[in-house]
Amino acid sequence: MAERSFAREVQDLRLGAGEEFRGEGILAVTKALLQSGVGYVGGYQGAPISHLMDVLADAQDILTDLGVHFEACASEAAAASMLAASVMYPIRGAVTWKSTAGTNVACDALSNLASGGVTGGALIVIGEDYGEGSSIMQERTHAFAMKSQIWLLDPRPNLPSIVAAVEHGFALSETSSTPVMLELRIRACHVHGRFICKDNRASPFPLIRALNEPRRDTQRIVLPPASYAHEQEKVTKRWPAAVEYIRANGLNETFAGDIDDIGIILQGGMYNGVMRALALFGLADVWGETRVPLHVLNVTYPLIGDDLAAFCRGKRAVLVVEEGQPDFIEQALHAILRRADVPTKLAGKDALPMGGEYTPQVLVAGLRRFLEAHAPALLREARTPPSAAEVLADARVKALAQSVPPRPPSFCTGCPERPIFSALTLVQKELGEHHVAADIGCHLFSINPPFAIGTTTMGYGLGPSSAAAFQVKAEKRPIAVVGDGGFWHNGLATGISNAVFNKHDGVVLVVDNYYSAATGGQDIPSSRAENPSRSTKHPIEEAVRGVGGRWVRRIDRTYSVAKMRDALREALTTKAEGPKFVIASSECMLNRQRRERPAFQAAVKRGERRVKQRFGVDEDVCTGDHACIRLSGCPSLSVKDSGDPLKQDPVAAIDNSCVGCGNCGEVADAAVLCPSFYRADVVHNAGPWELWLTRLRTRLIGALAQRRDARRLELA
């Protein structure tokens, strides 16, 4: 169950020639694939392109009608390997994943693909992610494109440009026999707009024909002596063919301006931000008219040296807007201008930050520095947008900062992973601190307060592998964490079977929440939901035993903190040899709520009796030491004034965001804390007997309360 359904939106993918398409960037990419005659599509979900995989899954019927094979791949390496279908056959194929983490996983297949080259168009849609909101290391796809000589497109973030980039990407790939990457930042994936459609078309060379008419060209197989010739072919044939196609089709764009002694060279994906920054200076308008000339690199690799030199010739200075580091484009541009004997001064990372996301505010500061150095007269004439310091000093911004507290990344309310780390905290209090190898996924939030558990994270599904060096006889065993998504992606082979093969003595904690939850709730082999197009319900426990795991414990309700604590304690203290596997299973609360809430609300609206569990804190019993909060950290668990003059400390309180998971009470019980938590059943559409009984209870409680108040002593 993905976090968002596109069942309604995908119907627009059937639009024909001349009709107008309106929607998100990811939907536009899918429509462009269908218009381009793609034969197969695959990928691995991950922000910012998670929704692209969800769109493709929801469009299964449309893909089937066109004979397009779609596959949700086990990993990025599996997705990249799919492109092998385009090596020997004139079939267009596309795959997608989040870079650079996904590109690192796929690099073996990509290197071989780039070496041998392709016959059909091979397009890799890359989700690039920079800045504080990114969940991965701050690297660039550009480096990999340069290393393997894969062409890299970075279109302006509007729907017509994105669609054109997809269509040209396939043609460029076929013309130069080279795979092509299409880079989309998160803003481009979710930008809204419109474009005029073309008809969808089936692949002229269907997959079934490839099976019936197999082909073989040893010159495309990466094996000596052909592999040596591939490197020469990249330089002598593929590169010139790509440059000629890019130039002939005008993939890069130049926007003229009336200020002709300076200019800006920018990645296509930076266009909207640069235009916004120029508009704040009064040097551009909202319709796309600019006074400062722009050269937009919708293709950032390879660079077209003649075009870049021509743009710079006659200008005193040019600003290079290149997001991320190192400054590959700026360095290459220096070489291009020197060889062309163009004396234009270049500014880039001296005016703009070396790393991080280039938001309009960052671009305004960089543009101001560039104008101060190279066009001070123009800066005096232009409007002066506020600096970052001035914005932060604004009283309204200060008031907002005071009223909206910081929100560090954390588990969701009711998350079934929270009690796992509550249990681990209790075990470590008893047995002492242990080395805990963390892993990528929601469970990585355990490194933050209140748990502060976890030391390293080396890659998706690599938690058990990253604890391999600590498999020595010691008083304390290492603990490795891996999620169910990472387990099927990479962990089973590299971590679990490796631990069995090498007779590790550590503990592997497998967090099973039924989905690839961190990427949007997509189904995986161990999902327990019915999926008509995928094979699910393959237990992780069986897979672990299948590769030789012997000591295996499974907890089917992680909210049972005491059971989780006991299982972890046993794993850390048992004398059994070999790795110890603890599989902690409970459904992701977000997906559970997406599934249950609509059904619950519909039933209530129909007048059916429904019960919702809520939890609360008895203020009279609560001691106010807040140990429950320190061991849980649930966002719905807070504090409030007790209203009792004899209780100076605030008491615990549960707000309306509570989903009734019961974790707070379970933690309090397992940790032997005060028994202040209670559960209340909220009944919707109660029957006559329940209503009568409620009235009776209310009267009885009221009478007892009056009796107590009458006996209360009052001090003068």
Q: What would the pLDDT profile of 394-427 be if each residue is shown by its tens digit?
A: 888 888 777 766 667 789 999 999 999 999 999 9
Is 1 a residue whose pLDDT tops 70? no
Secondary element (H or E) of residue 345:
strand 345-347
pLDDT band at residue 705 under the 50/70/90 scheme:
confident
For residue 40, the one-letter residue type is Y
Per DSSP, which regions of 65-188 are E strands? 69-72, 93-98, 122-128, 151-153, 180-185
SS3 (DSSP) at 637 = strand
SS3 (DSSP) at 502 = coil
How far is Cα 552 from Cα 545, in angstroms, rounded to an integer? 8
The pLDDT tens digits of the residues spanning 467-505 come to 999 988 888 999 999 999 999 999 999 999 999 999 999
Is 252 a residue whose pLDDT tops 60? yes
Mean pLDDT score, 566-595: 95
- CB contact set of 581 (below 8 Å; sequence gap of 6+): 496, 507, 508, 510, 544, 549, 551, 552, 553
Residue 4: both structure tokens together: 């968002």
For residue 625, the one-letter residue type is D
Dihedral angle, C-alpha 194, 198, 199, 203, nearest 10 °:
-110
Selected from 3.40.50.970, 3.40.50.300, 3.90.1150.10, 3.30.1280.10, the CATH number assigned to the domain covering 418-591 reads: 3.40.50.970
CATH number of 15-248: 3.40.50.970
The pLDDT tens digits of the residues spanning 581-596 come to 999 999 999 899 988 8
pLDDT band at residue 652 under the 50/70/90 scheme:
confident
Domain extent listing, the chain: 15-248, 253-401, 418-591, 609-710
pLDDT band at residue 714 under the 50/70/90 scheme:
low
For residue 100, what pLDDT is reported?
A: 86
Considering only the top CATH level, what class is 253-401? alpha beta
Quick one: how far is CA 87 from the chain centroid? 30
Greatest mean pLDDT range, 350-354, 384-388, 633-637, 660-664: 350-354
* 334-342 long-range contacts, CB within 8 A, separation 24+: 336/303, 336/305, 336/308, 336/309, 337/308, 337/309, 337/312, 339/305, 340/305, 340/306, 340/309, 340/313, 342/309, 342/312, 342/313
| CATH topology assigned to domain 609-710 | Alpha-Beta Plaits (3.30.70)
Is 715 a residue whose pLDDT tops 70? no
For residue 681, what pLDDT is reported?
A: 87
Residue 545: both structure tokens together: 């035993």
The pLDDT tens digits of the residues spanning 19-59 come to 999 999 999 999 999 999 999 999 998 888 888 999 998 99
15-248 shares its CATH topology with 609-710:
no
For residue 237, what pLDDT is reported?
A: 96
For residue 381, the one-letter residue type is E
Q: Residues 629, 630, 634, 636: is their CA dihedral positive or negative?
A: positive
